[in-house]
Amino acid sequence: MKMAIRILFIFLLVTLCAFAQSPSASSSSGTVSLLALERLWNEAQVSRDAAAIASMIGDRFINTEYDGEVSDRKKFVEEFADPKFRPSLMNTEDVKVEMYSNTAVVTGIYHTKGTYGGKPYEHFGRFTDTWVFQDGKWLCVASHTSLMKKQSLETPGLSSPQSTKE
């Protein structure tokens, strides 16, 4: 009888430990998913794939650009398909994900360049994306960029480049 109680106790203890680890495992899984979504977002931006972007943003999405321009979901998606917009480089680094239950904030540094209407542009800045987990998937509900002084993305202490936002 004592042996059965011990086995039951050990089983309950192991089960409780497994449940106690679930949030961090889920958080880790969310972080990996969000980093992948950020890369997909950036690839969609380079290829101007408006449908891909539309599938990643919420119905009430709001974007604030480095110059203060604010756009809603409709305008943001339309701008992705604009043939005047031709990005040639998208890199990010120092990307961090902060998880809050069903919400996450992704921040990082970006470098982008290309042409718009035939005129070259090059931006170095920071971005903040807010993601919400709803209906079984992560959706970006807000994005903000701000410019920094021009610098190399090989700044000591920063991680290796990935793809980015404009």
Q: What percent of the chain has pLDDT over 70?
A: 74
Question: Rounded distance, CA 80 to CA 94, Å?
Answer: 25
CA distance 144 to 64: 5
What CA–CA distance (Å, rounded) separates 120 from 118?
A: 7
pLDDT at 105 over 70: yes
pTM of the model: 0.74
What are the structural domains of the chain? 24-147 (3.10.450.50)
pLDDT in tens, 17-32: 333 333 344 578 899 9
